[in-house]
Amino acid sequence: MRRTYTHRLATWLALATTALAAACQAAPHTPASGDQVIELLPRRADAAQRALRQLRDKLTTQPDNLALATDLAQRYIALGRDSSDPRYLGYAQAALAPWWRLSAPPAEVRLLRATLLQSTHHFDAALADLEQVLLAHPKLAQAWLTRATVQTVRGDYAGATASCARVAALATQLVAVTCLANVGAVTGRALPSEQLLELTLQRSAGAPPEVAVWSLTLLAEMAGRRGAADLAQTRFRHALALAPRDGYLLGAYADFLLDQQRPAEVIALLREQTRVDALLLRRALALQQTPGTAAALAADVRELAARFAAATQRGDRVHQREQARFELALRHDPSAALALARQNWQVQKEPADIRVYLDAAVQSRDAGAARPVLDWIAAHGSDDVAAARLLRQLKGGA
């Protein structure tokens, strides 16, 4: 699973896309058609679920209703964020089925399609859609933000900075500063970026919860990477109070707890979240740190092996970072992990990608294999104490 910050801004995306629709008028399994039944969703009595059922039923009878389809897709994306359930992204794509494969769909569909494409690492296609959206609507902040997110993941920091600059003219100061801090965190400017973001968040009382969670999670990760564990803990807990089921946040906090050797808290945190591969992986890693859990650990390893094998058979490369970590830590196969980390590095270049690549190289005793990452760090900088430790090990200093 790769949950970018854009996923946690799904509510804002819905608002932005609604505005775009008005302007235009003035990895999961993909169903073959919008009316194909994949699974019956839980029937909860709350108003949101009733509204969702009504929209879904209405779309079944009006599959070409653009406004209805985009509304339903937006709601599914938000549900995917709130429930940590990746199936909802597939449901969102199904809602857009009549336009999904068009070379020039309506702009509001392009924006949603770009968001879904980047979630499955189809970055070139996502950027192509965003380019077309922005040609027609250059003042659409969400499109610039999604573009910046993809550019950062791919390591195009100059492009991401330029996109964040456009966001700054169109969105709130907190959104703009968070966008820029996300770039600064991986280009040797982590501490000043963190300080500016913290100050901006303090001055942004009343910010939408999804934006506050985005900022807090980034701040927590930045503190954790520089070794400020107490501060990271405070920020993670603040973010979890606002979004207790956010998938990316749960994974990031679980990683922090694993680094702190607190596996019991990871197991409790992820008790009902193992539908997501990346969260199941983190529970298995926690079980590995916990005495007396051999049977449960073996079951999780078997399940993960089956899921990764199925993803490989589908040609799905979204999980290569997690699969590399699985091979390295749970199956103790550093050669396989290094091959996966190398393939993953061709797609995305974030701190977690650096760490798993270096760790695989260390355990493979192959410093030369890490050259692409070493060159990258030399060119862009790093403020990650875990990466620094691995670098010392590669150089024989630990």
Q: Where are the domains of the chain?
A: 1-143, 319-398
Residue for token digits 């298995």? 284
Q: How many CA atoms does the CB half-sphere of 47 hold within 13 Å? A: 0
- 390: exposed, middle or buried (Cβ count in 10 Å: 0-12, 13-18, 19+): buried
pLDDT at 38 over 60: no
CA atoms of 333 and 362, how far apart (whole Å): 12
User: Which two structure tokens, joined as six digits, stand for 71?
Assistant: 């509304």
Coil, strand or helix at 121 = coil
* Rg of the chain on CA atoms, in Å: 21
CA atoms of 218 and 377, how far apart (whole Å): 20
Task: Return the pLDDT at 328.
Answer: 98
The percentage of the chain sitting over the pLDDT mark of 90, rounded to a whole number, equals: 76
pLDDT at 27 over 60: no
Q: Which of 202-206, 273-277, 306-310 has the lowest mean pLDDT?
A: 273-277
Task: Return the pLDDT at 6.
Answer: 46
The percentage of the chain sitting over the pLDDT mark of 70, rounded to a whole number, equals: 88
pLDDT tier, 397 (very low <50, low <70, confident <90, very high otherwise): low
Highest mean pLDDT among 13-22, 37-46, 48-57, 182-191: 182-191
Residue for token digits 């890693």? 285
Highest mean pLDDT among 45-54, 76-85, 301-310: 301-310
Angle CA 85–91–93, to nearest 5: 120
Q: Which of 97-111, 144-158, 307-321, 339-353 has the lowest mean pLDDT?
A: 307-321
Task: Return the pLDDT at 393.
Answer: 95
- CB count within 10 Å of CB 133 equals 25
**Of the candidates 191, 198, 279, which has an alpha carbon nearest to the alpha carbon of residue 238?**
198
CA atoms of 54 and 359, how far apart (whole Å): 49
**Averaged over 111-128, what is the pLDDT?**
93
pLDDT at 171 over 80: yes
Q: Residues of 190-217 as b/e, b for ≥16 C-beta within 10 angstroms? A: beebbebbbebbeebeebbebbbbbbbb
pLDDT tier, 373 (very low <50, low <70, confident <90, very high otherwise): very high
- What is the separation of C-alpha 13 from the centre of its chain, rounded to a whole number of angstroms? 15
CA atoms of 94 and 68, how far apart (whole Å): 13
pTM value > 0.85: yes
pLDDT tier, 1 (very low <50, low <70, confident <90, very high otherwise): very low
CA atoms of 316 and 213, how far apart (whole Å): 29
Q: How many CA atoms does the CB half-sphere of 351 hold within 13 Å? A: 25
Q: Cβ distance 388 to 227 under 8 Å?
A: no
Residue for token digits 């392009």? 110
Q: Cβ distance 90 to 31 under 8 Å?
A: yes
Q: How far is CA 185 from CA 31, 76, 125, 152, 188, in A?
A: 38, 30, 26, 10, 7
Q: Which of 28-37, 61-70, 76-85 has the lowest mean pLDDT?
A: 28-37
CA atoms of 238 and 10, how far apart (whole Å): 20
**Of the candidates 267, 190, 272, 204, which has an alpha carbon nearest to the alpha carbon of residue 232?**
190
Task: Return the pLDDT at 396.
Answer: 83
CA atoms of 266 and 251, how far apart (whole Å): 9
User: Which two structure tokens, joined as six digits, stand for 386?
Assistant: 């875990």
- CB count within 10 Å of CB 53 equals 13
Instruction: Supply the mean pLDDT for the chain.
Output: 89
Q: Which of 4-8, 37-41, 313-317 has the lowest mean pLDDT?
A: 37-41
Q: Cβ distance 347 to 324 under 8 Å?
A: no
**Averaged over 18-25, what is the pLDDT?**
48
DSSP string, 22-61: HHHH--PPPPSSTT----PPP---SHHHHHHHHHHHHHHH
Between 36 and 346, name the one with better pLDDT: 346
Helix H or strand E encompassing 220: helix 209-225
Task: Return the pLDDT at 84.
Answer: 67
DSSP state letter for 104:
S
CA atoms of 155 and 106, how far apart (whole Å): 29
Task: Return the pLDDT at 284.
Answer: 98
